[in-house]
Chains A and B, each alone.
Chain A
Amino acid sequence: MLSENKDFVTAIELKGITKIFGNVVANKDIDLSVRQGEILALLGENGSGKTTLMNMLSGIYRPDSGSIFVNGHEVSIQSPEDSKRLGIGMIHQHFKLVDVLTAADNILIGSKEEGLFLKKDRYKKVKQVSEKFGLEIEPEKYIFEMSVSEKQTVEIVKVLYHGADILILDEPTAVLTPQEIKKLFEILRKMRDKGCAIVIITHKLNEVLEISDRVTILRKGESVATVITSQTNAKELTELMVGRAVELSIERPETGCKESILSTHHLTVVNDEGVEALSDVSFELHRGEILGVAGIAGSGQKELCEAIAGLQKIKQGAILYKKEDIGGKTPREIIKLGIAMSFIPEDRLGMGLAGSLGMADNMMLKSYIDSKTPFVERRRAARLAEKVIDELDVQTPSVSTPVRKLSGGNVQKVLLGREIEANPNVLITAYPVRGLDINSSYIIYDALNEQKKSGVAILFVGEDLDVMLALCDRIMVLCHGSVTGILDAKKASKEEIGLLMAGHVEEEQRNE
C-alpha cells in the first residue's frame, strides 16, 4: 500500500520555520520536505541548526513561526507524545535507554497502550516487529550487555514498534565503526524500500553521498539549497555548507625527530566505577610527532588522558616522562613538568574551563599559582587572552564575558590556546575539533602542526578517521581499554583501523 504512491506523498513538509533562542536565530525561515520512501540527508556544520529543526518535529521545541505538514495535513506538535502519534520517530545522538532493562522493556517503556502490567508475550511481539523490518535484535538481552550498534538497533526498533514511518536519525554514525556504519546503512535502505521517510542528520560528506537520495544543506540557520545526491559531489556540497570554496587537505610536516619523551609501560587504570578502563597499555610518544589515538567512544581515551595528567590513579604499570616515573605525582607537579592536557568533553566545559568565569580568568586557571604575591595577576592573563584571541581568531565580546556564553568552537579555541601558550613539551589534546566548523578546524590543525614543528610531542585523541589519517604520524587504536595496534598513518587504511577498533588484534604485529 505504501509503495504504490511513494513518489507522490510528502511525509513531512516544513514551511518557513523560524526558531529563536535569546539573541541566537537557530532556524530562519526554513523550508524542507521529505517524501515517503526517500532518505533525505540534512547536512550542515555544527551550529547550523540541524538538530534544532528536527527537535521541532519530535516535539521537544516549538517553532516561533512557520507551519508543519505531516502527510499533507497541517499539525501543531506540542509534545513528544504528539510527535509519536503522528508517526514520527527520532533516534537521538545520545541513546535514551535504561541500562538495567532488557531490549523489549526499553521498547515498551512509557507506552500507555501496553497497560499497567508487563505481559509475557512482549518479547515475542518485539521480535515480530523487528523481523518484519529485517532487523536483528535479541529482545531479552539487557542493554548494558550490548555494543553501541546493538543499542542503536534497539532505538530503531523502538520507534518502529510504535508505528513510526518517519524516522529522524541525529548523527547516527558518530559512535560506530566503519563496519557498523555499513550495516546501519543497509538497514536504512531496507526501511526506505518499505516506504518509510528517513531524515539523517550529519556533517560527514562521504556518508551523505553514500546513503541519501536528496540533500538539504543548512548554513547558519538557513536552508541554502536542496540538491539531488546523484547530481552532486563532495566539493559542491562543502562549498554549499561552508559558503565558499575550501581546500580540503591537511598538512603533515616531516620533522624527522625520533627522540622519545613520554612512554607508558603496561599501564592499567581502574576508573571511578571500579571498571578496568585501561589494561596493559604500552606506547612511546616522540618529540615532534602527532600520535593519534583512535577508538570507539569510551574505549579508555578519557582515562588515558587523565592518567597522564595525574587525575586518575594508576593500578599497575608506569608512565615515564624523560625516563622519570610520573605515576605518583599530583596534577600540579605534572603541569610544572610541561605536560599540558586539553580534553574537550561532550559538554565542552566540564573539564578544563570554568564556564561562569571570563576568558582572562580561564587563561590563568593553571598558572595563577605562580604569582609571587597572594594576589592573582589578572592583567597578565588578560594580555594572554588578547593574544589567543588574535592568533586563533576567537569571537568574544570581551575577555571578561563568561566563556559559557561563547559558541562551542570559540570555547575550544580558548582551551587549546591556553594549553599552547603554556609552552608545553607534551600536549595531550582530546577531540580538539569536536563540533567545530571546517574553517576553525583548520586553524586548530595548523596550530597543532606549528607545535609539532617546534618539537612538541602531541597525543591526539580523535573521532574522524579521515582527519587522523591525514594529520597524525602514527595511530594507536584502543578497544575496551587495550591497544589493538599502532599503525603508520601514511600506510594504514580506514578499514584496517575499523577492524582494530572493533577488537581484531593486528596480526602482523603479533607475528613479529
Chain B
Amino acid sequence: MNNNKASPHIKREPIARIVKRPDMSVRKTALLYLAAIFFAIAAGGVFILVLGHNPFTYYATVISGSFRSKLSTRALIRIIIPLLITSLGLTVSFRMKFWNIGAEGQFIFGAVCASYVALFRSEGLPHFAVILLMGIAGFVGGGMFGLIAAFFKTKFGTSETLLTLMLNYVALYLVQYLMDGPWRDPTAGGFSKIAQFPEIAWIDQIAKVDVSWIVAVVLVAFLFVYFKYTKHGFEISVVGDSQNTARYAGMNVNKIVLRTMFISAGICGLAGMLQVAGDATTHTLSTGIASGVGFTAIIVAWLAKLNPFGIVTVSFMFGLLDKGCGVAESTFNLSGSVADILQGIILFFILAFDFFIQYKLTFKRAEKTAGGADK
C-alpha cells in the first residue's frame, strides 16, 4: 500500500520561482523607478518607430514643444494646475484607503457651483468677494458631492468605488442639461452653450498665467503638514490601516470618513472652480471642462505614492507629455493621444517594477550549482 503510492516519482521542478526579497534601500528603489521610466520611454519609442517616425526627434519635439515659447510654457502650466490639485484631493481619501474615483464628478460639480455664483450672484459684489465666494462654492459643492458616497458607505456599507464612479456621469450630464436648458446663453444664436462669465469672476493673472498656481503650491505645503503632523492626518492613517484599531483607540470612524471625504472631494471641486474661473481661453462652464483630469489624477496620485511632493513631479511629467505630444501632433501628423499611450506605458512599467521591489525570481539551475558548491 505504501510502496505503490510513492512509486510514481514526483520529481518535476518549475524553471523559476518567485521569492520575497529583503527590504530595498531608498537609493536602490529610486534607481529602479528611474529605470522603469527609462524602459517605458524606450518602449514608447519602439511604438513610435513602428508608426514610422524617429523616436528621438519625436521626444525632442515633445520637450522643446513645451518650452519653445512663453505661450507654450504658460499653456503647460495651465495643463498642470488642475491635474496637480485634483491629484492632491484624491490623495486625501486614498490615504484613508477610501477609493474615491469620482474626482471627475467632484471637479465638475465644484465647477457648476462656482459657475452659479459667477453667472447669477456676482452682480454688485467686489471682485475679491466674487472669487472668494466662487472658491467656497466650488469647495463645498465638490465636498458635498463627494459626501454622498461617504454617507452611504458609513450608513449602509455600500461600495464607495461604484458610487463615486457612477456620480461622475451624474455630474457630466448635469452640465449637459444646464447647457441645453436653464443656463443656455440666449445670445449664442442657437448654440447650446453657457455664457462667458462676467470679467469680475475671472481669476487675476500674473505674467499672463492666472494665479491658480499659488493655490496649488499652498495646497502642496498644507497637505504635507496635514498628513504628517496633525491629529487629522494621524486619524486618516489609522483609519486607513485598520478601522477596528481606530474604533478601539476611541476614534469616531464614521465622522473621520465623512470629514476626510469632504476635504478630498472639496479639493477636487476647488480644482473645478479654478478651471472655470482661471482658464483664460474659456472662462465658462462646458461639458469638456474636466476632460478626464479626474481619471488621470488617480494615476498621478498612485505613481506619486500619495506623497504631495511626488505629485508635483508626476503632474509635471504628465503635463509635459500632454502638451508636448499636442505640439508633436502638428509636426508629425501623429495624434496627440500618443500622450495617453505613453502615460499608460509608464504606469505599466512602474507597476511591473513595483513587483521587483518586493520579489525576485530565482532560477532552479543557478540555485542547484550554488547548492553544489556548498557540498
Contacts and interface: CB of A to CB of B under 8 A. Distances in A.
A355 B241 contact: yes
Given A87-B5, A371-B231, A65 B371 contact: yes
A183 interface: no
A330 interface: yes
Given A23-B23, A368-B234, A369-B250, A75 B244 contact: no
5 contacts: A1-B1, A36-B2, A165-B1, A311-B248, A361-B237
A357 B247 contact: no
Contacts of B19: 20, 64
B22 A368 contact: no
B6 A73 contact: yes
Given A71-B2, A365-B238, 10 more contacts: A1-B1, A62-B17, A85-B5, A165-B2, A309-B248, A353-B242, A361-B234, A369-B250, A374-B232, A376-B234
Interface residues of A, number: 56
A376 B249 CA distance: 15
A65 B367 contact: yes
A82 interface: yes
Interface string A320-336: 00000000001110110
Given A21-B20, A354-B245, A75 B6 contact: yes
A330 B237 contact: no
B242 A354 contact: yes
Interface in B1-56: 1-3, 5-14, 17, 19-23
Contacts of A378: 229
Contacts of B249: 331, 335, 365-366
B231 A374 contact: yes
Nearest to B225: A375
B231 A375 contact: yes
A330 B255 CA distance: 14
B230 interface: yes
Interface string A54-81: 0000000010110000111111111000
Contacts of A2: 1-2
A375 to B, nearest CB: 5
Interface of A: 1-2, 9, 11, 20-23, 36, 62, 64-65, 70-78, 82, 85-87, 163, 165, 309, 311, 330-332, 334-335, 341, 343, 349-357, 361, 364-366, 368-369, 371, 374-376, 378
A352 B5 contact: no
Nearest to A21: B20
Nearest to A376: B234
A365 B245 contact: yes
B245 A350 contact: yes
Contact of B9 (A73, A349, A350, A376): A73
A11 B6 CA distance: 11
A354 B245 CA distance: 6
Contact of B244 (A330, A350, A361, A371): A350
A331 B250 contact: yes
B247 A331 contact: yes
Contact of B241 (A20, A343, A357, A369): A357
A376 B231 contact: yes
A2 B1 CA distance: 9
A62 B252 CA distance: 45
For the complex of A and B, the 7 pairs showing the least CB-CB separation, nearest first, are: A332-B250, A354-B241, A331-B250, A73-B6, A365-B249, A23-B22, A71-B6
A77 B23 CA distance: 29
Interface in B140-185: none
Given A350-B242, A352-B245, A76 B6 contact: no
A180 to B, nearest CB: 31
A62 B14 CA distance: 11
Contacts of B246: 354
Q: Which has the most chain A C-beta neighbours within 10 Å: B13, B20, B234, B244?
A: B234
Contacts of A341: 248
A64 B18 CA distance: 11
Nearest to A350: B244
Contacts of A350: 242, 244-245
Nearest to B242: A354
Nearest to B5: A87
A21 B21 CA distance: 8
A185 B232 CA distance: 55
Contacts of A82: 10
